[in-house]
Amino acid sequence: METYNINMEQKMTRFNEVCKNAGIKLTHQRMEIFKEVAGSKAHPDAESVFRGVHERMPTLSQDTVYRTLWLLKDLGLITTVGVSRERTRFDGNIHPHHHFVCSRCGSTYDFHSRELDELNLPDQIKDMGRADDFQVTVKGVCKDCSDS
Ligand SMILES: [Zn+2]
Ligand SMILES: [Zn+2]
């Protein structure tokens, strides 16, 4: 698994701060689950996070992993990609960014575009509710899948 070594220290500092401010106990389990998402570029779903953490902490239950992921998401420490709650992928990159999703293998890559960040949302959206943020998803076939 590829890791974001550069940001990891910063991410852990923020994790500590946010948990402390929210009055949430800094358990070893929570830290490992956060690390699994924050250190991954793969946008893992809950299943994959569980498998990754389970190797290091065999006593950890799947239920705890699920609950912790949604807790981390509520705290703003991670974000989610996609709409469906069962197959939600978690994202350790909380800075504004967009995604390229391969329709064959499901690989999800981050990309950045200031132009897209500043996109004007249509007025229609005001009738639907308050928009907090948005992401552009580009669908296609990734290099690995088109080479084979
Ligand atoms: Zn692919
Ligand atoms: Zn992302």
pLDDT value at residue 5: 55
* pLDDT one-digit tens code per residue, 89-100: 899 988 889 999
93 contacts 81 by C-beta, under 8 angstroms = no
Report the topology of domain 3-91: Arc Repressor Mutant, subunit A (1.10.10)
Band the pLDDT of 104: cuts 50, 70, 90.
confident
CA 93 to ligand 2 centroid distance, Å: 6
4 CA to centre of ligand 2 in angstroms: 12
Dist. CA 35 → ligand 1 center (Å): 25
What CATH number is given for 98-147 in this structure? Answer: 3.30.1490.190
CA 92 to centroid of ligand 2, rounded, Å: 7
CA of 10 to the centre of ligand 1 (A): 31
What is the pTM (predicted TM-score) of this model?
0.73
Taking only the tens place, the pLDDT of each residue in 34-86 is: 999 999 988 999 999 999 999 999 999 999 999 999 999 999 999 988 765 55
Question: Per 3-state DSSP, what percentage of the chain is helix, strand, and coil (rounded to 5)?
Answer: 45, 15, 40
The ligand minimizing its distance to the Cα of 148 is: 1
Closest ligand by atom to 106 CA: 1
Beta carbons within 10 angstroms of residue 80's beta carbon? 16
What pLDDT does 148 receive?
A: 64
Residue 114 — very low, low, confident or very high, per pLDDT cuts 50/70/90?
Answer: very high
Tell me the CA–centroid distance for residue 91 and ligand 2, in Å: 5
Query: In this predicted model, what pLDDT tens digit does every residue of 2-34 receive, in sequence order?
Result: 444 558 889 999 999 999 999 999 999 999 999
In the chain, where the domains are located: 3-91, 98-147
pLDDT of residue 59: 93
Please name the helix (run of DSSP H) or strand (run of DSSP E) that holds residue 81, with its range, or none: strand 79-81
